[in-house]
Amino acid sequence: MAVPAPDPLAVRAASFQELTRLGVPLPPDTFPLVWDAQDAVELRHTGELEARAVILHVLLERCFGMPAPAAEKWLDTNRLIPDVTEPEWAWISAEIGDRQSFALHLDALAGLAWVLGISKTLDPLLPPPRVLEQLPDLLADESFEQWRARTLAAPRDPTVVAAALDLHYCLDWSFQELERQGLPCPGELNANAIGQRRWALEWATVFVGEFHDPPGGWEEVDLSV
């Protein structure tokens, strides 16, 4: 259920305060807000968030050596193939695509795991802590439903996720600016990792308001702005 979105100016001020603490460049004052003061916010349905997380998990396991037939069978048995995007299926079934690009989804998965309450933190300085261990045990053929029952996801408050999205929107700009200037990024993450986390947060968060379109697909998330 949608709830009133937090004050975007107060959230942006908090995001800038965090950027200052991290010692990274601040976006310009004209940097767009993610939502308007009158908007409402909600998360996608929990089942949709969980399905996307386990699909990314299977995708990553394919990057790390899981055989295609095993990945296809698991997705089919768990009725998740309709939720797999065309680029993802091309990689899972035939390794068509860029392995490194798909491997970067580890940080998108970290973002979704945090939204679902499976991971406790989403630290902009550190890689995700054992996030793959928190997903279905594919080697043991743990099913999607068995994993859901074992994990009991507790999605975070949508206003908290919205604030995290604004922070990562700003961090995405800051990390890209550091790399553009040839300066080191703080911590162990780079601009690609921050961009992946922003991707997950943008997809998971649904804003309701005059200037927002209905939520789109995973591949439709626009990270160009």
Decide which of 35 and 129 is more confident: 35
Answer for the pair 93, 134: CB distance below 8 angstroms, yes or no. no
* Mean pLDDT, rounded, for 45-59: 98
- The pLDDT value given to residue 77: 98
- The pLDDT value given to residue 225: 75
- The pLDDT value given to residue 172: 98
Answer for the pair 127, 218: CB distance below 8 angstroms, yes or no. no
Tokens read off for 187: 């911590």
Does the pLDDT of residue 16 top 80, yes or no? yes
Question: What is the domain partition of the chain in residue ranges?
Answer: 3-30+157-220, 46-151
**Which residue stretches of the chain are H helix?**
8-22, 46-63, 68-77, 86-94, 99-103, 105-115, 144-151, 158-180, 191-204
Cβ atoms within 10 A of the Cβ of 109, count? 27
Does the pLDDT of residue 52 top 80, yes or no? yes
- The pLDDT value given to residue 154: 96
Q: How far apart are CA 12 and CA 5, in angstroms?
A: 13
Q: How far apart are CA 200 and CA 196, in angstroms?
A: 6
Answer for the pair 128, 109: CB distance below 8 angstroms, yes or no. yes
| pLDDT tens-digit readout, 117-157 | 999 999 999 998 888 889 999 999 999 999 999 999 999 99
Which residues make beta-bridge pairs with 207? 41
- The pLDDT value given to residue 129: 80
Greatest CA separation for the chain: 51
Q: How far apart are CA 191 and CA 148, in angstroms?
A: 31
- The pLDDT value given to residue 128: 83
The mean pLDDT value of the chain amounts to 96
| pLDDT tens-digit readout, 77-122 | 999 999 999 999 999 999 999 999 999 999 999 999 999 999 999 9
- The phi-psi region of residue 156 (left if phi > 0; otherwise alpha if psi is between -120 and 50; otherwise beta) is beta
Q: How far apart are CA 209 and CA 39, in angstroms?
A: 5
Backbone CA torsion sign across 102, 106, 108, 113: positive
Q: 147 to each of 53, 68, 140, how far by Cα in Å?
A: 12, 21, 11
* Mean pLDDT, rounded, for 181-188: 95
Residue carrying the six token digits 């999205």: 165
Does the pLDDT of residue 65 top 80, yes or no? yes
Residues 6+ apart with CB under 8 A from 171: 19, 24, 124, 194, 198
CA 190 to chain centre: 15
